[in-house]
Structure 1
Amino acid sequence: MTTSPPLPPLSPTARSTVRRGDRRAVTDRTALHAVLDAGLVGHLGVVVDGAPLVLPTGYARVGEVLYVHGSTGARSLRESAAAPACFTVTLVDGVVYARSAFHHSMNYRCAVVHAVPRVVADPAEHEAALAAITEHLAPGSWDHSRRPDRREGAATAVLALDLSEASVKVRTGPPGDEERDVAAGGDAVWAGVLPLRTSWGEPEPSPDLPAGAPVPAHVRDRAGQVAGAAP
């Protein structure tokens, strides 16, 4: 029986080492994978004309590479190629109510990736990246639906970001109230956590489908699941 070599830890650089709130830093690389795999929307931060630009985008992780895509006409993707960029994914698991306004917070899982994106030019990797992005967003759809044709593929830019430089922060648990507030508050001020869970609803068929068209298994199986749930 062979075992996989251990994954390198997170925060290998000064830029990706968590300093503020470092007690919440997680250095296990599997935590990075878990956050990225649970999220659906990430934010790509780039610099355009000397000013920061942060855009939401779909993505997918394949091993230690993160893929994002967009129109070849999108200036943000063109500008980010071969230039330093930052990609973040944040999952909110609850709102933390404290006895003091200062200690109100959120329970969350957050991943930050620093990388210089490269344009995916190899046709095989380009198609595999689009398949991964499709499957991350809508599992089962790559084989169920029509694949992108040559024109659609040419109109879609794909960037690859290496995951070697990344960090993860996680907050869980109750509020961190001051002892003076706990002692003085009694039950006059409620403190605790209001969990946040996102679930899928019932599938809504397109109006142009034939009446009674069955919902495919890969859509039915996802309905009712909790999106972005912590493992």
Structure 2
Amino acid sequence: MNLSATERSTLGRKPDRAATDRADLHAVLDEGWVCHLGVVRDGAPVVLPTAYGRDGETLYLHGSTGARYLRDDELPCCVTVTHLDGIVHARAVMHFSMNYRSAVVHGVAHRVHDPERHLHGLRTIIEHLTPGAWDHARRPSRRELAATAVFALDLGEASVKTRSGPPSDDEADVTADLAWAGVVPVRTVTGSPEPAPDLGGHHRLPAHLDRAGDPVDHRYG
């Protein structure tokens, strides 16, 4: 399936960097851990980093029920996820760039009131952070559930933009060749799990964390 092409989701600059396959959107979202949620609060834009999780064509977000901007059942918003893959060093400073993959989702997130879906949304978020953690740790209590709002955002209106490869220097700068040019790769990896200082000595590293620290895989699982 192709991505939507609305006025908001159509790239105005560097349209050749746009990805059109919905699978590209899923890949960017699935590899990230933190999204930036943009909302308007008291007439001013606010961008908040937060955890999220995807289930099919739905993105689940969460927050405190005490937050003013989460008290309504509908939340107009914009969600972005970005992966930095490299710093691009060009021969001319104006051609310095970054190699990246980014997704932008527009829409109205809807508050989840159904108890089963509310729990499902939270599980989706936890399992996105660390697959297997939901069945390992204690489930949320009624009080915790009441204090946590879950919103569902449809992925129908979204765009994906990427850049990869070497610098795009002017021909004259390439000919002069007066400065180093290339790419410095950037990678995000997990380290070895560090137990809490008050953890009982009888605990062993759970199976779902066995691959933590693996430099090949960006995510647990």
**How many Å separate the matches in 2 of 1:147 and 1:213?**
19
**How many Å separate the matches in 2 of 1:52 and 1:227?**
35
Letter in 2 for 1:129: G
Q: Is the 8 A contact 1:198 1:227 kept in 2?
A: no
- Say which SS state the counterpart of residue 19 (structure 1) adopts: coil
Q: Is the 8 A contact 1:198 1:226 kept in 2?
A: no
The answer for the alignment partner of 1:91 in structure 2 is 83
Shift of 1:212: 5.7
Number of aligned residue pairs: give it: 219
Unaligned runs of 5+ in 2: none
The alignment's TM-score, normalised by the length of structure 1, stands at: 0.91
The answer for the alignment partner of 2:4 in structure 1 is 11
The answer for the alignment partner of 1:163 in structure 2 is 155
**How many Å separate the matches in 1 of 2:107 and 2:33?**
20
Give the direction of change, closer, same or farther, for the CA distance of 1:212–1:194 in structure 2 (3 Å limit). farther
**How many Å separate the matches in 1 of 2:140 and 2:215?**
28
**How many Å separate the matches in 2 of 1:104 and 1:154?**
48
- Say which SS state the counterpart of residue 199 (structure 1) adopts: coil
The answer for the alignment partner of 1:44 in structure 2 is 37
**How many Å separate the matches in 1 of 2:146 and 2:6?**
36
**How many Å separate the matches in 1 of 2:167 and 2:128?**
33
Q: Deviations over 1:161-205 (max 9, x none)?
A: 1100000001000000010100112xx411001101111111111
The answer for the alignment partner of 2:212 in structure 1 is 222
Asked if 1:121 is matched to 2:113, the reply is: yes
**How many Å separate the matches in 1 of 2:208 and 2:54?**
20
Shift of 1:83: 4.1
**How many Å separate the matches in 1 of 2:188 and 2:93?**
26
Counterpart among 84, 96, 100 of residue 104 in structure 1: 96
CA RMSD for the aligned pairs?
Answer: 1.4
Counterpart among 6, 16, 19 of residue 26 in structure 1: 19
**How many Å separate the matches in 2 of 1:223 and 1:46?**
34
**How many Å separate the matches in 1 of 2:94 and 2:48?**
30
Runs of 4+ in 1 over 6 A off after TM superposition: none
The alignment's TM-score, normalised by the length of structure 2, stands at: 0.95
**How many Å separate the matches in 2 of 1:180 and 1:58?**
46
Q: Is the 8 A contact 1:197 1:226 kept in 2?
A: no
Shift of 1:15: 1.1
**How many Å separate the matches in 2 of 1:28 and 1:150?**
40
Unaligned runs of 5+ in 1: 1-6
Shift of 1:209: 1.3
Q: Is the 8 A contact 1:91 1:228 kept in 2?
A: no
Give the direction of change, closer, same or farther, for the CA distance of 1:227–1:198 in structure 2 (3 Å limit). farther
